[in-house]
Structure 1
Amino acid sequence: MTDRVTANLPARDFGATAGFCGRLGFAVVYRDDGWMILRRGALELEFCHHPGLDPAQSRFSACLRVDDPDALLDEWRALGLPSDDAAIPRLTGFFRPGTAPRMFALVDPDGSLLRVIDNGD
């Protein structure tokens, strides 16, 4: 097994989180009352049950580093997620903060920020 790290994010409702992430191409590979693991190829997200979370106040985030962010953004844009800055959930277009690699962002229904970063940039 290769050393790795996976994101640990909060979820108010595992069913709702699994449904939303399923639309993004993630599948549930483990779930119990307090923990859920979702996987899409090499990308893995882990969720802990957090029923009292206020999505508008969430400061949770993770970075997904991918080889083809253009294809992923195109796929996720087809879902019709809002793009305005106040919507939860929402999907942005590409941006580049300072000298950082090119990226786009997705905010999930629980307010967690997923930065999708271009491996080749």
Structure 2
Amino acid sequence: MADRITANLPSRDFDATAAFYTQLGFAVGFRNAGWMILTRGDLVVEFFPHPDVDPLSSCFSACVRVDDPDTLYRDWSAVGISAERSAIPRLTGLFKLADAPRMFALVDPDGSLLRVLDNKDA
């Protein structure tokens, strides 16, 4: 196995978190009372219980670097997540900032931000 690092994000409720991410193509790889690991191919995100996290003020985030953000965006946008700027959860469209890779962003139900970055622009 190649060296890697995975994101660790809060979850107010493992059942709700798993249900949300399952819609995005993730599967539960491991779960007990204190930890949950979700996988989608080579993408891995891990969750710890944090019942008091406030989705409106959460500062948790992770960068997801992929070779094909267009396909991932199409897959995730098909779920019907709101694009409204204040919605939680929400999914932005693809965009490009100066001196940054092309990307889109997902905010999950617990307020965690996943920036999905294009490896070709990195």
Q: TM-score range by the shorter chain?
A: over 0.9
One-letter amino acid of the structure 2 residue matched with residue 5 of structure 1:
I
Equivalent-residue separation in structure 1 for 2:22 and 2:46 (angstroms): 14
How far 1:44 sits from its partner (Å)?
0.1
CA RMSD of aligned residues (A): 0.7
How far 1:101 sits from its partner (Å)?
0.4
1:12 match: 12
Specify the SS of the correspondent of 1:57: coil
Question: How many pairs were matched up?
Answer: 121
One-letter amino acid of the structure 2 residue matched with residue 39 of structure 1:
T
| Aligned 1:1-121 pairs, distance under 5 A | 1-121=1-121
Identical aligned residues as a percent = 64
Runs of 4+ in 1 over 4 A off after TM superposition: none
Equivalent-residue separation in structure 2 for 1:35 and 1:78 (angstroms): 28
How far 1:62 sits from its partner (Å)?
0.4
Unaligned segments of structure 1, at least 5 residues: none
Structure 2 length normalisation: TM-score?
0.97
Unaligned segments of structure 2, at least 5 residues: none
How far 1:95 sits from its partner (Å)?
1.4
How far 1:49 sits from its partner (Å)?
0.3
Structure 1 length normalisation: TM-score?
0.98
Equivalent-residue separation in structure 1 for 2:35 and 2:105 (angstroms): 24
